């Protein structure tokens, strides 16, 4: 274990046995948030479980269900257009579901409009590096760490899978030496394009500002950044999504196919944007089963991989 990883362990240790049963919250940058803005004050969580005003990025740990741990980890990026995060519905809920499959989850609270690009990218890559550096402590395999995201969180997850080695994702910290490449991606109704008819203008403005340069738009149009080294990817989207057009997933799938990256995509008829895990959406409500099948087919639920 590196010296930095050891310090992170100390920083994240529960304050008392009475708190041990609660989900453990790890500071993402215990040495200090890059470009910190203390004037923002603390993170805010409303009554619907949405997080805003994020000044202190964190990872909240949800261990796999007892006796089911299989060594796979998933870092979850909730959606919210880079202005808020649906932490409860697209974070905690997914983590609890993944726990029943034996997966240890880490819900990421990442910086957004208050900081803009590249802060979210740095946060998600730091999360991958942190989990990989401390894999043994969490009982996960360093080669079985995935990133899952919904909506703008899907854009961030796709950014992790395509820009994991980009200089903008580093801050000069010792953990930068740890690989930030996810081993797989799970993208739910993701924002992908930053220009053209499929682009989600709100996410683009929150991330890149009102008048971004052409180079930034091209870089963060993540379908353009796919290479043969992009990790295997699962895509979930619906025709009924009126906020983030289904073409976003199609564009990413086409890029993955062109680069010969293993990919699987499920496009459903029903289900509005942000459907989460709701019932009553026809076959779209069965997406968790399709996702479980995909994870199982890739050997990610195989307990033989447990350390």
In sequence order, the 6+-apart residues with CB closer than 8 A to the CB of 116 are 206, 207, 208, 209
Q: What is the per-residue pLDDT for 21?
A: 65
Q: What is the per-residue pLDDT for 210?
A: 96
pLDDT tens digits for 102-146?
999 999 999 999 999 999 999 999 999 999 999 999 999 999 999
pLDDT (tens place) for every residue of the chain, 307 residues total? 444 444 444 444 444 444 446 889 999 999 999 999 999 999 999 998 999 999 999 999 999 999 999 999 999 999 999 999 999 999 999 999 999 999 999 999 999 999 999 999 999 999 999 999 999 999 999 999 999 999 999 999 999 999 999 999 999 999 999 999 999 999 999 999 999 999 999 999 999 999 999 999 999 999 999 999 999 999 999 999 999 999 999 999 999 999 999 999 999 999 989 898 999 999 999 999 999 999 999 999 999 644 4
Are the C-beta atoms of 131 and 101 separated by less than 8 Å?
Answer: no
Q: What is the per-residue pLDDT for 20?
A: 47
Coil, strand or helix at 154 = helix
Q: What is the per-residue pLDDT for 208?
A: 98
Q: How far is CA 74 from the centre of its chain?
A: 8
In sequence order, the 6+-apart residues with CB closer than 8 A to the CB of 184 are 146, 147, 231, 232, 233, 234, 298, 300
Q: What is the per-residue pLDDT for 274?
A: 86
């Amino acid at each position: 274990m590196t010296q930095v990883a050891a310090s992170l362990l100390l920083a994240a240790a529960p304050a008392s046995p009475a708190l041990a049963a609660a989900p453990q919250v790890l500071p993402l940058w215990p040495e200090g948030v890059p470009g910190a803005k203390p004037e923002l004050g603390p993170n805010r969580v409303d009554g619907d479980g949405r997080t805003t005003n994020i000044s202190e990025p964190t990872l909240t740990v949800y261990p796999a269900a007892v006796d089911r741990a299989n060594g796979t980890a998933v870092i979850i990026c909730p959606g919210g257009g880079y202005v808020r995060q649906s932490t409860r519905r697209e974070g905690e809920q997914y983590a609890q579901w993944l726990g029943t499959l034996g997966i240890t989850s880490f819900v990421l609270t990442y910086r957004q409009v208050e900081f803009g690009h590249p802060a979210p990218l740095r946060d998600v890559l730091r999360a991958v590096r942190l989990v990989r550096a401390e894999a043994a402590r969490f009982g996960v395999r360093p080669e079985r760490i995935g990133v899952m995201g919904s909506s703008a969180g899907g854009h961030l997850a796709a950014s992790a899978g395509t820009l994991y080695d980009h200089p903008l994702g580093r801050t000069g910290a010792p953990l930068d030496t740890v690989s930030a490449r996810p081993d797989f991606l799970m993208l739910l109704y993701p924002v992908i394009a930053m220009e053209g008819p499929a682009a989600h203008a709100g996410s683009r403005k929150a991330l890149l500002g009102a008048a971004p340069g052409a180079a930034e738009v091209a870089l963060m149009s993540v379908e353009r950044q796919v290479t043969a080294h992009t990790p295997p990817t699962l895509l979930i989207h619906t025709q009924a999504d009126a906020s983030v057009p289904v073409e976003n997933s199609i564009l990413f799938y086409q890029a993955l196919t062109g680069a010969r990256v293993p990919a699987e995509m499920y496009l459903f008829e029903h289900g509005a944007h942000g459907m989460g895990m709701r019932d009553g959406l026809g076959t779209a409500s069965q997406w968790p089963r399709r996702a479980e099948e995909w994870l199982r087919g890739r050997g990610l639920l195989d307990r033989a991989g447990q350390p």
